[in-house]
Structure 1
């Protein structure tokens, strides 16, 4: 199951690998990771870019999860993304 972040409350119940056009999947968490589907417009946000830098420092460009993994607590990620004007 993936959580769609445009309001942070919607849940995608189709295939766990389905990502709508204009969105990307990210894995969030420090030990147990949850999959979130976020709009690509989030990539322009400075606070999200900070998370990407943290991910690069921690994992480099190759991570065994196979996808973009953000090493922060899930509640922090939800709080940060829910305040962004990305839509």
Structure 2
């Protein structure tokens, strides 16, 4: 089952490696990582920039999932992206 939020997508296993044009895949979660696909437009938003800085501090260029990993809880990420999407 995928969580559907405006502008944020989760990808089902059968199309796991597909990222639509204009989106970027990120892994979110503290213990179990969940993959989200977010529009690239959110990358410049200050709230998302804060998450990217935390990711850089925690992981540097080595991300355990092989892609961009955001070190926060899934609920925090969903709330943040919902707020950012309301601003865009």
TM-score, length-scaled by structure 2: 0.83
- Structure 2 regions of 5+ residues with no counterpart? none
Aligned to 1:61: 61
Root mean square deviation of aligned Cα: 2.3
In the aligned structure 2, how far is the partner of 1:64 from the partner of 1:76?
20
CA deviations over 1:35-67 (Å, ceiling 9, x no partner): 000000011100000000000100011123110
CA contact 1:29–1:72 (8 Å) conserved in 2: yes
Change (3 A) 1:57 1:23: same
Change (3 A) 1:66 1:49: same
Deviates further, 19-28 or 77-86? 77-86
Aligned to 2:19: 19
In the aligned structure 2, how far is the partner of 1:17 from the partner of 1:3?
17
TM-score, length-scaled by structure 1: 0.84
